[in-house]
Structure 1
Amino acid sequence: MDAIQSLGDITIAIAILMLFAALAAGWIDAVVGGGGLLQLPALLLVPGITPVEALATNKLASLFGTTTSAVTWTRRAHPDLGTALPMAAVALIGSYGGANLAALLPAAVFKPVIVAALVIVATITIAFPTLGSISALRHRHGTHHPIAGLLGAVIGFYDGLIGPGTGTFLIITIITALGYDFVLASAKAKIVNVATNVGALLFFIPHGHVLWALALGMGLANMAGGYLGSRMAIARGNRFIRIAFLAVVAVLIVKLGYDVWAENIST
């Protein structure tokens, strides 16, 4: 009933903003991840929505875009599914676990750590300009898949718990820890991101946290953005993805850094 009342309070202006945010978020997610940075805060503008409802609705809307992106990337970039699919399976479990804690732990607990991690990610990417330009696979002797699984579990848990920046973290860890280039890392990240969205929704849907009408409308816009973004990224290659990646990381640092500062000032 609360969700229905919340939807009834949505004005045309807010509805248009939600659709635009979903379209842009789908494009960003398809290229380098981080679309939740735009889509989740937009959802928090909906009158009467709770943080958990916003997170759950964001996950369902994002699932449309990430699935579209994953299909497009897989058909055109031909990623190694022997690594991507097991990693996705473990990430799904991690995301389900994170979603179970989403209503219990405040995101503010994790934001300073996330900001620090993003600063490190940006520093590494800038300091090593050839990073991700070619594939040079690591850990071939029996450790490749266990490391991929560990990465999937940790980032999947984060996605279920908080969410924004998941695709960004997936790409940089797949590049640095496993040795793939930006194109192949992005393709794998999209597949894993589908699984993390599904894992979180396995918790959110039965508990009634999804605002269905809003999520489905935003999902269609997110899907369109995902299709356009993935085709552009694949066509333009590693250099374009690297530049877009750094831009999204910079915005994430500023946004989350401001959140941490504002929360400290208010307390």
Structure 2
Amino acid sequence: MEPLTLLALAVVGLAAGFVDAIAGGGGMLSLPALLSAGLPPVAALATNKMQSIVGTTIAATTYWRKGLVSLRALVPAILLTLAGSLLGALTVKNIDTGILDVIVPIALIAIAGYFMFAPKLTDADRAARLSFPIFVPLVGFGVGFYDGIFGPGTGSFLTLAFVALFGLGVTRAAGNTKVLNLASNLGALLLFIPSGDVVWPAALTMAVGQIAGGYLGALTGIRFGAKLIRPLVVVVSVAMALKLLLVP
């Protein structure tokens, strides 16, 4: 790949990591960039997973170090999310995912509406509607399975679940989302890497940008909390919905 192309991909990696660490949706920037650089679709998907896992790791670690994530409480969910993503990646070749092109944008718009209009969405924790130890692993498996099959909106779905079902404040929800996103990406990569689909020069170059973007994005999300994360989830969810509806 040309040096200027790699430089541009590094910049995209930084921007994608920054957005993804706060509200998810970094793939809206990174995946089109990889396709524009001439990668075939499967290679672009695999390379996108590889570069994004770096920024997700940095972001998840930053949230954890700031005391916003309990890894011990998430261990069962991490394992089931990874398993769900791997199963989804194995399943995708045998099913028609066309219906998701319609369902997912509607779900993303609903998520945007919830974060826009629901009262009392702050950084304060609230009473959970469902048991965290029992249902977070089930949600992780379901969302991981979806991520392995399709992908767009995974972060938004997880953040909504942590806020609406498990009573977490918005910033803690973002941190927990990053941890399960990491598990989901890893599950898919367990297939992509052995199959040789990752284009390593592009992945490693974008990973450099992801390191800075993931760290700065996590610090920004922690610094401004719900005041930033809430509107950004709305913007990212609507943008992803419009992209899925208008750009095949």
Q: TM class by shorter-chain length?
A: over 0.9
TM-score computed with the length of structure 1 as normaliser:
0.86
1:18 to 5, 9, 17: 9
Distance (whole Å) between structure 2 residues aligned to residue 217 and residue 175 of structure 1: 34
Distance (whole Å) between structure 1 residues aligned to residue 44 and residue 155 of structure 2: 19
Q: Match for residue 174 of structure 1?
A: 162
Determine whether 1:206 maps to 2:194. yes
Counterpart contact for 2:159–2:173, Cα < 8 Å:
yes
2:151 counterpart letter in structure 1: G
* Contiguous gaps of at least 5 residues in structure 1: 1-9
Counterpart contact for 2:123–2:225, Cα < 8 Å:
no
Distance (whole Å) between structure 2 residues aligned to residue 128 and residue 33 of structure 1: 20
Q: Match for residue 63 of structure 2?
A: 73
Alignment deviations for residues 8-35 of structure 1 (CA, whole Å, 9 cap, x no partner)? xx34443233222211110011111111
Q: Match for residue 135 of structure 2?
A: 147
Q: CA deviation at 1:112?
A: 1.0
Alignment deviations for residues 55-96 of structure 1 (CA, whole Å, 9 cap, x no partner)? 111111011100000110101133233432221111000111
**How do 1:30-179 residues align onto structure 2 when only pairs under 5 Å count?**
30-47=21-38, 49-103=39-93, 108-139=98-129, 143-179=131-167
* Contiguous gaps of at least 5 residues in structure 2: none
Moved more, 77-86 or 110-119: 77-86
Q: Match for residue 194 of structure 1?
A: 182
Q: Match for residue 4 of structure 1?
A: none
1:219 counterpart letter in structure 2: A
Q: CA deviation at 1:252?
A: 1.2
Moved more, 75-84 or 114-123: 75-84
Q: CA deviation at 1:170?
A: 1.1
Moved more, 94-103 or 225-234: 94-103
Q: 1:212 to 1:105 in 2, by over 3 A?
A: farther
Alignment deviations for residues 138-189 of structure 1 (CA, whole Å, 9 cap, x no partner)? 257xx43221011101111122222232212211111111111111111111
2:51 counterpart letter in structure 1: A
Counterpart contact for 1:132–1:179, Cα < 8 Å:
no
Q: CA deviation at 1:127?
A: 2.2
Distance (whole Å) between structure 2 residues aligned to residue 250 and residue 77 of structure 1: 30
1:58 counterpart letter in structure 2: N
Counterpart contact for 2:171–2:226, Cα < 8 Å:
yes
TM-score computed with the length of structure 2 as normaliser:
0.93
Over aligned residues, Cα RMSD in angstroms? 1.8
1:43 counterpart letter in structure 2: L
Moved more, 98-107 or 86-95: 98-107
Q: Match for residue 255 of structure 1?
A: 243
Counterpart contact for 1:22–1:218, Cα < 8 Å:
yes
Counterpart contact for 2:22–2:229, Cα < 8 Å:
yes
| Identity of matched residues, % | 36
1:99 counterpart letter in structure 2: A
Please identify the structure whose Cα radius of gyration is greater: 1
Distance (whole Å) between structure 2 residues aligned to residue 24 and residue 106 of structure 1: 32
Q: 1:249 to 1:97 in 2, by over 3 A?
A: same
